[in-house]
Chain A
Amino acid sequence: EVQLVESGGGLVQPGRSLRLSCAGSGFTFGDYAMTWVRQAPGKGLEWVGFIRSKTSGATTEYAASVKGRFSLSRDDSKSIAYLQVNSLKVEDTGVYYCSRDNIDHFDLWGQGTLVTVSS
Chain B
Amino acid sequence: EIVLTQSPATLSLSPGERATLSCRASQSVSSYLAWFQQQPGQAPRLLIYDASIRATGIPARFSGSGSGTDFTLTISSLEPEDFAVYYCLQRSNWPLTFGGGTKVEIK
Distance in Å: Cβ of B73 to nearest Cβ of chain A: 15
Query: Given A44-B99, A104-B91, A111-B43, 9 more contacts at CB 8 Å?
Result: A44-B98, A45-B44, A45-B98, A47-B95, A64-B1, A97-B44, A107-B46, A109-B44, A112-B43
Using CB atoms, name the residue of chain A closest to B87: A45
Which bucket holds chain B's interface residue count?
20 to 34
Partner of B101, one of A45, A62, A63: A45
Residues on A lying within 8 angstroms of B by beta carbon are 35, 37, 44-47, 50, 61-64, 97, 99, 104-107, 109-112
Distance in Å: Cβ of B96 to nearest Cβ of chain A: 4
A47/B96 in contact, CB under 8 A = yes
Contact with A along B15-48 (1 / 0, CB 8 A): 0000000000000000010101010001111100
Residues on B lying within 8 angstroms of A by beta carbon are 1, 32, 34, 36, 38, 42-46, 49-50, 55-56, 85, 87, 89, 91, 94-101
A37/B44 contact (C-beta < 8 A), A45-B36, A50-B96, A105-B55 known: yes
Partner of A107, one of B55, B99, B100, B101: B55
Distance in Å: Cβ of A3 to nearest Cβ of chain B: 11
A99 vs B50: C-alpha distance when bound (angstroms): 17
Distance in Å: Cβ of B6 to nearest Cβ of chain A: 9
A105/B49 in contact, CB under 8 A = yes
Partner of B95, one of A45, A61, A99, A111: A61
Chain A neighbourhood of B50, CB < 8 A = 104-105
Using CB atoms, name the residue of chain B closest to A45: B98
A110/B98 in contact, CB under 8 A = no
The listed residue with most B CB atoms (<10 A of its CB), out of A97, A104, A106, is: A106
Chain A neighbourhood of B32, CB < 8 A = 104
Q: List 27 A-B contacts (CB under 8 A).
A: A37-B44, A44-B87, A44-B99, A44-B101, A45-B36, A45-B87, A45-B89, A47-B89, A47-B96, A61-B94, A61-B95, A61-B96, A62-B95, A97-B43, A97-B44, A99-B44, A104-B49, A104-B50, A105-B46, A105-B50, A105-B55, A106-B44, A106-B46, A107-B46, A109-B44, A110-B43, A111-B42
